[in-house]
Amino acid sequence: MTSLNRLQTLAMGVPEMKQVSPCKAASGDDIVIVAGARTPMTRARKGAMKDTACADMLAVAIKAAVERAGVKPSDVDDVAVGNVGMDGAGALQARLAMLLAGLPQESSVQAVNRQCSSGLQTIAHTAAAIKSGFINIGIAAGVESMSAGAKKGPPKIGDLSGRLGESQTVRDCLTPMGVTSENVAKAYGISREVQDKFALKSYQKALAAQQNGKFDKEIAPITVKVKNAEGKTVKMTVTKDEGPRPTTLEGLQKLKPSFAADGCSHAGNSSQTTDGAAAVVMCKRSTAVEKGLPILGVFRGFAVKGVPPKVMGIGPAFAIPAVLEQTGLTKNDIDAFELNEAFASQAVYCMDKLGLDETKVNPLGGAIALGHPLGCTGTRATVTLLNHLQDTNKNTGIVSMCIGTGMGAAAVFTRN
């Protein structure tokens, strides 16, 4: 049996028999998220934050999360920040941001890069640190300036390894993300029509959510300076995401393929390149009760699984079953899935493979409409999910995404 066959077998094995679940009873040892905040998400290279440094975006998200949590800045032990595009995962910028946000120099910081899941990985890191007793209160965050990232050239292949010729799987790790989307579409028969219809729904849901104020309480406004089309620097305050917009199926169908002449992935059914930052404050439930802090949600479990690099987008189809098994849940127990829409092809594949109820998937739209600031997405999606569970009086959700080079990550959260 090949590795892909084994992974496909796992994907089909979403637990159907309900087990005794650790998600049912509240405990003082539960790892809770007491508050979260994010900046608006703006278009890379063209949007309001195209000239804003990662440290400045991140500082706004951290400061807002701390204020909403009601914790003393001096009580924050550590900050974990996810980033993909900056050197060293942006460790220097993360330190600048936490200090600009008003945290004391005695608080520490770490930088994390697990590519597109970086912002979710920081939540898992922080939960583990709290659970182990290493820290009491931590901040998990993510930030990305894809505007800045666009100015950097790709690494020279020869600098990556001198042994690329030894393994096709190793070489597949270098496959451009858009090409992996085309690979998924071809391998699993995901037509352009299906992808375009999925993308249209993402735009419609996100635009409706924005117009109805569903994102307002999670967004922290940010004041920035940006160069306009005339080259003049203007000051403005950004309060809303720039991605959602009226879209038609006819408009999507007119777009040319972006990654292959005969392909089906294009700018309208792929995630938008975006700038943004998000942060959450975490501690044990007992600490929250002792300090009189609010509880936005509870972290319940986290899993990462590897998949073939050339079809990296299928990762959530294997990470989601793993985290369901870990937490003793079935897919039917989940009220909402924040499934990152890196590409419509892979999102559709994962939904179909797992048999997910599409009404539960990205109820407020996804990355096709809202954008995918790489290191920020996991934290942003968590903030969105937890606010949605609060608003709808639902209890359980999953955040999941594919990861470049061939992985998938997923985490379970509950409202209480």
Verify whether residue 125 is a known catalytic residue: no
Of 227, 85, 89, nearest to 152 by C-alpha is 85
What would the DSSP string read from start to end of 358-405? GGGB-TT--HHHH---TTTHHHHHHHHHHHHHHHHT--EEEEEEEETT
β-strand pairing of 297-306 with 78-82: unpaired
Helix (H) or strand (E) holding 26: none
Distance CA 208, CA 219 (A): 16
Spatial CA neighbour of 139 closest among 328, 325, 314, 382? 382
**φ/ψ of residue 6, rounded to 5:** -65, -40
Residues in CB range of 164: below 8 A, 6 or more apart: 157, 170, 171, 174
Dihedral of the CA atoms 90, 281, 215, 150 (nearest 10)?
0
378 touches 361 (CB < 8 A): no
Catalytic residue among 54, 264, 350, 402: 402
Distance between CA 112 and CA 78 in Å, rounded?
13
Q: Which tokens belong to 279? A: 């942060």
User: What is the residue whose two structure tokens read 């290191």?
Assistant: 375
Q: Which of 116, 264, 350, 376 is catalytic?
A: 116
* Residue 240: CB atoms within 10 Å: 15
Residue 54 designated active-site: no
Which residue in the list 54, 125, 283, 372 is annotated as catalytic?
372
**Cα dist. 197→187, 193, 204, 273 in Å?**
19, 6, 11, 20
The DSSP 8-state label assigned to residue 73 in this structure reads G
Q: Is 372 a catalytic residue?
A: yes
Q: Which residues are known to be catalytic?
A: 116, 372, 402
